[in-house]
Amino acid sequence: MNYKIENIKQITVKKPLKLDCGQTLKDFPIAYETYGKLNEKKTNAILIFHALSGDQFVAGTNPVTNKDGWWNIAVGPGKAIDTEKYFIICANVLGGCMGSLGPKNINDIDGEPYGLKFPVVTIRDMVKAQESLLDYFNIKKLLSVLGGSMGGMQLLQFCALYPDKTFSAVPIASTSSHNAQQIALNELARQAIMSDPLWNNGNYYKDKKIPKNGLAVARMAAHITYMSEKGLQERFGRKLQEKKDYEFTFDADFQIESYLRHQGNVFVDRFDANSYLYISRAMDYFDLSKQFKNGLVGAFQNHKTRFLIISFSSDWLYPTKNSKDIVIALNASGANVAFAEIKTDKGHDSFLVNEPEFLETLKGFLDSNFEIFKNEK
Which residues are catalytic, by number?
Answer: 149, 315, 348
Residue 124: its H or E element: helix 123-136
Contact status, residue 103 vs residue 130, Cβ threshold 8 Å: no
Task: Give the separation between CA 218 and CA 263, rounded to whole angstroms.
Answer: 10
Contact status, residue 178 vs residue 315, Cβ threshold 8 Å: no
Q: Strand pairing partners for 345? A: none
Residue type, 212: K
Task: Give the separation between CA 28 and CA 21, rounded to whole angstroms.
Answer: 17
Tell me how far the alpha carbon of residue 109 is from its chain's centroid: 30
Task: Give the separation between CA 301 and CA 329, rounded to whole angstroms.
Answer: 9
Residue 113: its H or E element: strand 112-113
DSSP string, 268-293: HTT--HHHHHHHHHHHHH-BGGGGST
Q: Can you tell me whether residue 110 is helix, strand or coil?
A: coil
DSSP string, 313-346: TT-SSS-HHHHHHHHHHHHHTT-EEEEEEEP-SS
